[in-house]
Amino acid sequence: MDKTTTKVITLLASTILLACAAQTRITKNEYDLLKTAAYTSSYAIIGEYGDNIPDDLNTEKFLQVAQKKIPAFYYAEFKKYDLEVMPMKTYYLLKVYDPETHKLILYDYSCTEYTDGNILDEPQQDNHPERSL
């Protein structure tokens, strides 16, 4: 092999290894459970506050309501991830991050029927949902 071919192969192999390393270790089943937890929690939060989501709704308050109002196994699923809750007056935006890579893996607007940003299922989705507001 000539030097150029060797360099190209090395570069390609390095890129593939880095891409694999950046991938999450979350299984499809775990991700589906997380999506259902997000979907279920939106009903719990809306049930608690109605259309008047408090401006001070944060992750801690979100988890307090979720712990009381959703099944324990969904609540336990949330505890595995880094969450961010952004109140938006009549709804909220929930952002879920991979605890290892710190990358956004899911987001959900509580005012929609299903989870909105299923990033692990649809990697082409925008990783900055607040831009669409």
The string of pLDDT tens digits covering residues 85-115 is 999 999 999 999 999 999 999 999 999 888 8
Q: Please tell me the predicted confidence (pLDDT) of residue 5.
A: 52
Count, residues in the chain:
133
**Could you tell me the pTM of the whole model?**
0.77
The string of pLDDT tens digits covering residues 29-74 is 999 999 999 999 999 999 999 999 999 999 999 999 999 999 999 9
Reply yes or no on whether the pLDDT at 23 is more than 70: no
74 phi/psi in degrees, rounded to 5 = -75, -40
Structural contact between residues 127 and 120, judged by C-beta atoms closer than 8 angstroms: no
**Residues 27/84/48/88 CA torsion (nearest 10 deg):** -120
